[in-house]
Amino acid sequence: APLASPPSVKTTCPYCGVGCGVKATPDGLGGALVEGDAAHPANLGRLCSKGAALGETVGLDTRLLHPLVRGTDGALARASWDTALDRIADGLKTVRDAHGPGAIAFYLSGQLLTEDYYAANKLAKGFLGTAHVDTNSRLCMSSSVAGHKRGFGSDTVPGSYEDLEAADLIVLVGSNTAWCHPVLFRRMEAARKARGTKFVVIDPRRTETAAEADLHLPLAHGADALLFSGLLAHLAQSPAFDADYVRDHTTGFDAALAHARAMAPDAEATARACGLAVEDVARFFALFTDTARTVTCYSQGVNQSVAGTDKVNAILNCHFATGRMGREGMGPFSLTGQPNAMGGREVGGLANQLAAHMGFSPEEVDRVRRFWDAPHMATREGHKAVDLFAAIGRGEIKALWVMGTNPAVSLPEADGVRAALKGLDLFVLSENVVHNDTAACHPHVMLPAAAWGEKDGTVTNSERRISRQRPFLALPGAVKPNWWALAQVASRLGFGAAFAWRGPADIFREHAALSGFENAGSRDFDISAFADLSDTAYQDFTPVQWPAPRGRPQGTPRLFADGGYFTADRRARFVSPAPVAAARASEAYPFLLNTGRIRDQWHTMTRTGLSPRLGSHILAPFVAVHPDDAAPLGLADGGLARVSSAHGAAVLEVKIDAGQKRGTLFAPIHWSGATSSHGRVGPLVHAVTDPFSGQPDSKATPATLAPF
């Protein structure tokens, strides 16, 4: 008889915020065949190169399979879970008793499942009493979060991916979508083919995305808010201005318009301030004015900036002024970097948030305290990522639990982060892999965490769509889910009853119930329709966009078409951007270094680095240099150059690139000490942050360049 085919399992890609559905069919040998899930609304069967290569990355060669505990000789040695968990619980108690709960911190990741994130936040903010819980989403999305909260009163993305296919104009700001959100870009290209959608790309670099644009605006670094202020001034006197929407659903328009007119009164002044050709700016303004169905997408070029929050609000202002909000083919659209940056925020993954998008007002603290019956509720915001590691460096934070992220590579001024990690009294690292730069910083305990293919829980993508990550491989060795390790530590600290979950479905139900607790439509995040979900329904959960309050389990594709913002008066807020205070090059550091992603690698390559196919796209860490900047320095394509900033240096392969703006450099973020002895760029990046979001400016570090 023919052999029965192994069943395939529907899950979600673990890389970018597009959140593509994947079907994985285990091969019975520890591997799996991976293909796109045609039924998943995010990708409708498509996968990019990274998603298509997932099957090549599920081996165990580099995996951490057992707990490791540092002995008195300073060496990590294999230990039982009991030994490791006792060590963590004892260490947390010792630090809390000696220094108070504010000496304990957690650093989480947009790679974690929502259930893991929920458990960490509950333990820290409700039971240990520390709000020093931040995440690598701070490096990714927090300026959009802060901008949305100022404009909408909530951390909400108003639209859906379908709007990209229904738009006649897509404006991409600070986003190399073709490389960083490839499946979405393919959906945009399909729309262009079907309905002639125009693309405007606003980016100092001529990226692969810009090369496809109908209009590319290579604006000066940091000038985005100026450009959109000029657009607001233009729209206000154009037929596109929607006086009814502005009157009925917004406040602050007059002040914002006066401010915009002072900053950038017309296309000519805007072009001058942004370093653009007047005719290009005029064409952009005309396209935006004439095209009702306009979606403006923004990503890290907007977020990773000292003015990231202001840039977001300058964009939102133009959509408020035209009433192009939450309607088919219209709206602002933040493209999330990571697979679960949004899910993490839903459960309070940022130091300035509590669970279910609540903040630290006395009412919200009290509400969460009552829901959790929490004995030690944090009452104030904690340190955001950059400040958190600075506090570790100053010795104020003594105990840190890092989960699923590699801050010794990815944070700015990463050498300082390395040094800070080595000085902790208790450093716990939950990881998939044995070796990476953070694991090299002397953790006291390493916990083997479940990896993609083994994880069981939920994630939320850029369009607010909650999807399941389902396991299709058995947990190898002594590997366990992160939520389980957190619950075990909670139990050792005497909080077992509040963490007595049998599995991720219990956590999801609790999370859903909290989102609806005393929430009669006053908060955006509400998935209380799932508070009583059965285990079977959780297992079979089909992707849905929140809010999904009780009685609306089908979710909500769009918000704000008829106002209903989450401010006290239910009106949106126009917010005026401050004058740009962007980094400037100097005689000592004549270049601005921009860092970002390449097409076929993800973060610090611990997974994508396992695929030879992905590795063959770009072999080595590089720096892109304009030919006119390279020539006087005697730099040739393929040669080596030393890039230095006030904080560090890297040796990178030179790529001569005419698409690079003069005076700027671009280098990818992926290489680490574990993958290249000289290609880490994290140490160079300045730890300068946006004043509202705390997001580091990773796009403009003053730097020098010299042949190596």
| Contact footprint for ligand SF4 (CB under 6 A) | 13, 15-16, 18-20, 43, 47-48, 50-51, 181-183
Between 54 and 493, CB nearer to ligand SF4? 54
Angstrom distance (rounded) from CA 316 to CA 390: 33
Between 183 and 548, CB nearer to ligand SF4? 183
Please classify residue 181 by burial: count the beta carbons closer than 10 Å to its beta carbon, then call 0-12 exposed, 13-18 middle and 19+ buried: buried
* Closest distance of CB 176 from ligand SF4, Å: 13
Letter for the amino acid at 19? G
Which two tokens mark 638?
């393929």
Between 469 and 701, CB nearer to ligand SF4? 469
| Cβ-proximal residues to 166 (8 Å cutoff; 6+ apart), any chain | 191, 293, 328, 329
Residue with the CB atom nearest ligand SF4 in the bound state: 51
| DSSP letter, residue 198 | E
* Closest distance of CB 341 from ligand SF4, Å: 12
* Closest distance of CB 52 from ligand SF4, Å: 7
* Closest distance of CB 573 from ligand SF4, Å: 32
* Closest distance of CB 337 from ligand SF4, Å: 10
* Closest distance of CB 457 from ligand SF4, Å: 16
Angstrom distance (rounded) from CA 338 to CA 387: 22
Between 180 and 429, CB nearer to ligand SF4? 180
Which two tokens mark 166?
């229904």
Angstrom distance (rounded) from CA 373 to CA 637: 62
| Cβ-proximal residues to 678 (8 Å cutoff; 6+ apart), any chain | 621, 650, 651, 652
Between 542 and 567, CB nearer to ligand SF4? 542
Between 57 and 154, CB nearer to ligand SF4? 57
Q: What are phi and psi of 685, to 5 degrees?
A: -70, 130
- Residue that has been written with the tokens 């108690």 in this structure: 93
Angstrom distance (rounded) from CA 466 to CA 675: 33
Q: Which of 3, 69, 17 is nearest to 448 (CA)?
A: 69
Angstrom distance (rounded) from CA 12 to CA 604: 20
With vertex at residue 89, the alpha carbon angle to CA 83 and CA 94, rounded to the nearest 5 degrees, is 120
Q: Which residues pair with 653 in a beta bridge?
A: 622, 640
Angstrom distance (rounded) from CA 491 to CA 571: 44
* Closest distance of CB 543 from ligand SF4, Å: 13
CA-to-CA dists, residue 445 to 111, 195, 401, 441, 707, angstroms:
20, 56, 9, 11, 42
CB pairs under 8 A, 24+ apart, for 70-78?
70/442, 70/443, 70/444, 70/445, 74/442, 76/443, 76/446
| Cβ-proximal residues to 394 (8 Å cutoff; 6+ apart), any chain | none
The 3-class secondary structure across 493-507, one letter per residue, is CCCHHHHCCCCHHHH
Between 110 and 153, CB nearer to ligand SF4? 110
* Closest distance of CB 516 from ligand SF4, Å: 29
* Closest distance of CB 209 from ligand SF4, Å: 14
Q: Is 296 helix (H, G, I), strand (E, B) or coil?
A: strand
Between 175 and 645, CB nearer to ligand SF4? 175
Angstrom distance (rounded) from CA 269 to CA 281: 10
Between 141 and 264, CB nearer to ligand SF4? 141
Between 15 and 360, CB nearer to ligand SF4? 15
- Residue that has been written with the tokens 């959906």 in this structure: 187
Between 183 and 356, CB nearer to ligand SF4? 183
* Closest distance of CB 609 from ligand SF4, Å: 15
Which element (helix H / strand E) includes 667?
A: strand 664-668
Between 353 and 432, CB nearer to ligand SF4? 432
* Closest distance of CB 633 from ligand SF4, Å: 36
Between 182 and 230, CB nearer to ligand SF4? 182
Between 50 and 455, CB nearer to ligand SF4? 50
* Closest distance of CB 19 from ligand SF4, Å: 6
* Closest distance of CB 462 from ligand SF4, Å: 10
| Cβ-proximal residues to 290 (8 Å cutoff; 6+ apart), any chain | 240
* Closest distance of CB 46 from ligand SF4, Å: 7
Between 13 and 316, CB nearer to ligand SF4? 13
* Closest distance of CB 602 from ligand SF4, Å: 7
Between 16 and 240, CB nearer to ligand SF4? 16
Strand positions, DSSP E, 165-242: 169-173, 198-202, 215-217
Are the beta carbons of 298 and 308 closer than 8 angstroms? no
Between 170 and 490, CB nearer to ligand SF4? 170
Residue 371: count other Cβ atoms within 10 Å of its Cβ. 17
Q: Is 249 helix (H, G, I), strand (E, B) or coil?
A: helix
Strand positions, DSSP E, 544-648: 544-545, 572-573, 591-596, 622-625, 640-644
* Closest distance of CB 616 from ligand SF4, Å: 17
Please classify residue 19 by burial: count the beta carbons closer than 10 Å to its beta carbon, then call 0-12 exposed, 13-18 middle and 19+ buried: buried
CA-to-CA dists, residue 422 to 106, 165, 419, 425, angstroms:
16, 49, 5, 9
Q: Which residues pair with 596 in a beta bridge?
A: 668
* Closest distance of CB 598 from ligand SF4, Å: 12
| Cβ-proximal residues to 408 (8 Å cutoff; 6+ apart), any chain | 414, 417, 418, 421, 436, 437, 438, 440, 441, 672, 673, 682
* Closest distance of CB 461 from ligand SF4, Å: 8
Between 104 and 183, CB nearer to ligand SF4? 183
